[in-house]
Amino acid sequence: MTDTHARLRGSMTALATPFRDGEFDEAAFRKFVNWQIEQGTHALVPTGTTGESPTLSHAEHDRVVEICVAEAAGRVPVIAGAGSNSTREAVARARHAESVGADAVLTVTPYYNKPTQEGMYAHFKAVNDAVGIPIIIYNIPGRSVVDMSVDTMKRLFELKNIAGVKDATAKIDRVSLQRQALGEDFIQLSGEDATALGFNAHGGRGCISVVSNVAPRLCADLQEATLAGDYAKALTIQDRLMPLHVQMFYESNPVPAKYALSRLGLMSEEVRLPLVPATEGCRRAVDAALAHAGLI
């Protein structure tokens, strides 16, 4: 296992992308990245779903990754979102991420096209063959419709750069099944905040988190507790965070997170269409969850 592989663990924030008057707010993003690191976040994941990557232009997407790498300055790993339902585009984004110094890339299973298992294998092999940094498979059937099988992951893990999975199936048994088939060196990261504690108990080693946008210290503490085997401490933290785990998805991600970040003074709540600002019901629910966690 390489040093980079060993560092891909713990609380990894799926970073929101701040906007102001319709444009990428670079100043707010730089401050946000530094705040995340200061709060104990173990790795940064720009340009994912939470970063509204579907509505970023290619130039904006690349700029977000560049700034994240520059501000992180090697203090924590940067796992750049580099997925697309177009294999050609996924390769281009992954190559760019590698060229500007990202430590790894996160590549989603192709959405909308509904490829077969063989199509998914060919897609990820193309990305694997194009870069020389670790690739984390992002398996999220709820958004991409397709679900990568354990057998396909096992085939992909034989390739030089496929390192692990961000599992957003919310099926805890998948962790054990994947661990049994692929072994302990296959990096398993939760993509679902509410079940991240149980995920690690099954053999996971971290979470690519939405909630850590607004509660990075608590999320880092929870992950550190589980990785040290202190599940009693982790459960206490989980009880503080559970309302946030729920309410961050009261409406489409990252709408509740952007609202929460605005309440904490970290960025505007502005999102891009087709997303719209949080409703009053969402705002009340998020406020209550932030208060329960002791953040406001």
Distances (CA, A) of 124 to 95, 106, 268, 292: 13, 11, 35, 41
CB atoms within 10 A of CB 112: 10
Q: Is the predicted pLDDT of residue 163 greater than 70, yes or no?
A: yes
| pLDDT at residue 2 in the model | 81
- Detail the residues annotated as belonging to a binding site for pyruvate: 50, 208
| pLDDT at residue 3 in the model | 85
| pLDDT at residue 111 in the model | 95
pLDDT in tens, 96-105: 999 999 999 9
> Annotated catalytic residue: which of 111, 114, 138, 154?
138
Q: What string of DSSP letters covers 151-210?
A: HHHHHHHTSSSEEEEEE-S--THHHHHHHHHH-TTSEEEES-GGGHHHHHHTT--EEEES
Instruction: Over range 244-265, report the average pLDDT.
Output: 98
**Nearest-angstrom CA–CA distance, 220 and 238:** 11
DSSP at 15: -
Instruction: Over range 255-280, report the average pLDDT.
Output: 98
What amino acid occupies position 126? A
Q: Is the predicted pLDDT of residue 1 greater than 80, yes or no?
A: no
Instruction: Over range 105-131, report the average pLDDT.
Output: 97
Instruction: Over range 18-34, report the average pLDDT.
Output: 98
Instruction: Over range 35-53, report the average pLDDT.
Output: 98
Helix (H) and strand (E) counts in the chain:
13, 10
| pLDDT at residue 196 in the model | 97
Name the band, by pLDDT with cuts 50, 70 and 90, for residue 253. very high
> Residue 111 catalytic?
no
Cβ atoms of residues 254 and 271 within 8 Å: yes
> Annotated catalytic residue: which of 166, 250, 258, 259?
166
**Nearest-angstrom CA–CA distance, 121 and 175:** 20
> Residue 166 catalytic?
yes
pLDDT in tens, 195-233: 999 999 999 999 999 999 999 999 999 999 999 999 999
pLDDT in tens, 67-89: 999 999 999 999 999 999 999 99
Rounded to the nearest angstrom, the gap between the alpha carbon of residue 10 and the centroid of all alpha carbons in its chain is 12
In sequence order, the 6+-apart residues with CB closer than 8 A to the CB of 172 are: 195, 198, 199, 202
* Mean pLDDT value across the chain: 97
Cβ atoms of residues 82 and 49 within 8 Å: no
- Detail the residues annotated as belonging to a binding site: 50, 208
Burial of 88 (0-12, 13-18, 19+ CB in 10 A): exposed
